[in-house]
Structure 1
């Protein structure tokens, strides 16, 4: 049922979210934004405010830090949804001590069943040093597995580095 999956990944502050927003806007479809962050501190609230201001008022925003399936499955046909981001979603599940395999399976199934086109933004976390602690290593491995699964299902995969898109799979519209 999916109308297309685009996967945008890159490092922190690489320009991936802004690129994904531009890609969504140029689709000409009704815009939906699926926010996964939980702004627990002042810095994160500021980041959320910057993202909101940049998007403007023509987006319908849905907030879902953990369970994305109900939102994805309820999106209208012919719309486009920017899910920003898979990294926060995964860390939320890790903090909640969720079953990561089950959560990932639910997300992938919901993306397949989604009637709207979806752009998923995620961080590439595997290009740095090996983390010193077990929790960070577990997160890096889980994020890598999630990114591989998303890229495998996506029609278009773009890596953003220093604000520049590098198409890894598919073709930009």
Structure 2
């Protein structure tokens, strides 16, 4: 658990109740394209998108050693689910994991993203990783700031606007 201005922040593995809370947070406080892979159909949180969101997270329950080689976590701040973080094996360098996270709009700008990233780095170290990689776009100033605060080496592709980050996993 990490303490921020907005309270304690922790990563919680997803059980059914936590997954229901995560879906409720996503529907109330985020756009589908910000929190999940694309799903065909009309915009918004349609029943098909809600089902796809739940199925996507359930498929990752076995964790890093499961068939998807990926684990997702609910981000809990001040006792409430406010977003999600993930770690994945992606065939990169040995000892390297990939991460990504999203926070609901109401949880942004409170220092939670940096706290989550620190918790993810600790989780990666416990899983035996030496490094964690992430990518974002150059317009995502909050993500870039959190990555910098956690010591990321950043590389920007000026043609595409993509920013690649490499961090040391820390326990």
TM-score band by shorter chain is 0.3 to 0.5
Using the size of structure 2 for normalisation, the TM-score is: 0.37
Give the structure with the larger strand fraction: 2
Using the size of structure 1 for normalisation, the TM-score is: 0.37
